[in-house]
Structure 1
Amino acid sequence: MFDQSPYESRLEWGERGVREAAARGDIVIVVDVLSFSSTVATALHYGAIVFPHAKDEHLSAFAKRHGAAIINGRSEAAAAGVATLSPVSFHPGHAGSRFVLCSLNGAVCARAGASATALMAGCLLNVSAIAAEAARLRAATGASVTVVPCGEKWTEPLPGENALRPSVEDYLGAGAILHALGGSLSPEAEVCAGAFLQSRGRIAELIWECGSGRELRDKGYGADVKHCSRVDVFTVVPLLREERFEVAAK
């Protein structure tokens, strides 16, 4: 009922938005700028293979089944000198390596939308490439495109309280993709694209100073914030297929 019909380009939020869009048969783009989507795009740019998964009791078995290493948190993995959720930890030496990437938001949303007509990981780093592939798939399948900023989660929500915390960086990333994607925009999508257009001259500054950016900076990961704030530096399109992200064929 509340599916933003009959628009070609739509906006939803978080895991529920992904599930609803996938159930409709939409093409889904999950956007987690800091940092899941940016890390996936960076890892695939360097030839790594990424399997998204929640950090739960099934994680170890999932990783073993795919012969993949579980990516640790930033601080633990950085101390060991291995790849982390930090996108800047990836480099050409990771080509062909298999990783399970966990996050509370992006990875969970990616798994929730696995049944979509197509599910891609979008961010500021690959705006034009993601929009072009989504437009191509929309023309080929007739499916609408739903862009889903994943947002963050509040810590220690009260019982029954919604844990989703909408985030500026994901909203701006989604707006950039929707602006590039075009087609008929739902009111929700139009406002989101407008937010990007209003802010596009200050994207790096706004993400640097937003709550999520400040949180990462305070923990010593300012390089992540700078990297993830760049627009259109990669042409890679991460497409979820058989539980892993692979580069969409051009």
Structure 2
Amino acid sequence: MFFDQSPYECRVEWGRRGAREAAERGDIIIIVDVLSFSSTVISALRKGAIIYPYPRTLDGKKFAEKIGGEFILGRVEAARIGSPTLSPVSFSKDHTNKKYVLTSLNGANCTWIASQVPSLLIGSLLNAESVAAAANHLQKQTRANITVIPCGEQWESSKEYEDTLRPAIEDYLGAGAILSYLEGKKSPEAELCMTSFLHSKDKLNDLIWDCGSGRELRGRGYEADVNHCCRLNVYQTVPLLNKDHFVEYL
């Protein structure tokens, strides 16, 4: 196919369709949803929580009951009763070894779509260098190509003839950060994504703080989430999907 970025070892594809295409190729996949699925999974795993990704279209509460876990509610509802939420700063050591079912429109759905690949990792700005190092190691072991998936957002109130994917710059910058540490030969699409990050590296905080997704979260009172998620390489935690939940890649 003309659009599969062959014969390059490191590629970038957007959203759910990109996740499916990469999964069908059997690539090593890195899911990037900076605000906030990826950052939340990384932060939660670092605190010892056990995260089960689950798509919004299925009954997450029923699945949580099946595994003996807790279904993560929306930010406002969960905060009201003191439970962890999709907010990455809501997890603490109190949640160690507890099971949580986490849904989201973008990151969780992309993870679900690509869940059958041999190696699916979660990346963001928080762990960009570490997740790239894990992918580099896996590539040497398996000879598989690597596809980085910036998940993007969804347009609200889209018409039936319109695409719902809204590209999000925070995910593009997160993907570019990861690509900058990958060792394989990069496609033109991956090169451009990486270059965008390198050009913007010194002003990540300002760009993400004031981008559409950042302003949306800040407008709802979640400034701490935005500040947390735009930090670069502060964690070495790399979530790896193990069947239906994440474990730390070692």
TM-score range, shorter chain: over 0.9
User: Equivalent residue for 1:143?
Assistant: 144
Structure 1 distance, partners of 2:34, 2:202, is: 17
Residue 199 of structure 2 aligns to which amino acid in structure 1? Q
1:245 Cα deviation from its structure 2 partner: 0.9
Alpha-carbon deviations, 1:198-218, whole Å to 9, x = none?
000000110000000000000
User: Equivalent residue for 1:112?
Assistant: 113
User: Equivalent residue for 2:88?
Assistant: 87
1:48 aligns with 2:49: yes
Mark the CA change 1:231 to 1:111 in structure 2 (over 3 Å): closer, same or farther. same
Residue 223 of structure 1 aligns to which amino acid in structure 2? A
1:163 aligns with 2:164: yes
User: Equivalent residue for 2:198?
Assistant: 197
Count of matched residue positions in the alignment of Structure 1 and Structure 2: 249
User: Equivalent residue for 1:217?
Assistant: 218
Mark the CA change 1:212 to 1:46 in structure 2 (over 3 Å): closer, same or farther. same
Task: Give the alignment of 1:18-97 within 5 angstroms.
Answer: 18-97=19-98
Unaligned runs of 5+ in 2: none
1:239 Cα deviation from its structure 2 partner: 0.4
Contact kept in structure 2, 1:85 and 1:101, CA below 8 Å: yes
Runs of 4+ with >6 A deviation: none
| Higher alpha-carbon deviation: 225-234 or 114-123 | 114-123
Q: Secondary structure at the match of 1:53?
A: strand
Unaligned runs of 5+ in 1: none
Residue 173 of structure 2 aligns to which amino acid in structure 1? L
Alpha-carbon deviations, 1:130-150, whole Å to 9, x = none?
000000000000000000000
Contact kept in structure 2, 1:128 and 1:232, CA below 8 Å: yes
Structure 1 distance, partners of 2:125, 2:161, is: 33
Alpha-carbon deviations, 1:180-229, whole Å to 9, x = none?
11320000000000000000000011000000000000000000000000
1:103 Cα deviation from its structure 2 partner: 0.4
Q: Secondary structure at the match of 2:128?
A: helix
Contact kept in structure 2, 1:22 and 1:117, CA below 8 Å: no
Normalised to the residue count of structure 1, the TM-score between the two structures is 0.98
Normalised to the residue count of structure 2, the TM-score between the two structures is 0.98
Q: Secondary structure at the match of 1:204?
A: helix
1:58 Cα deviation from its structure 2 partner: 2.9
Residue 245 of structure 1 aligns to which amino acid in structure 2? F
User: Equivalent residue for 2:174?
Assistant: 173
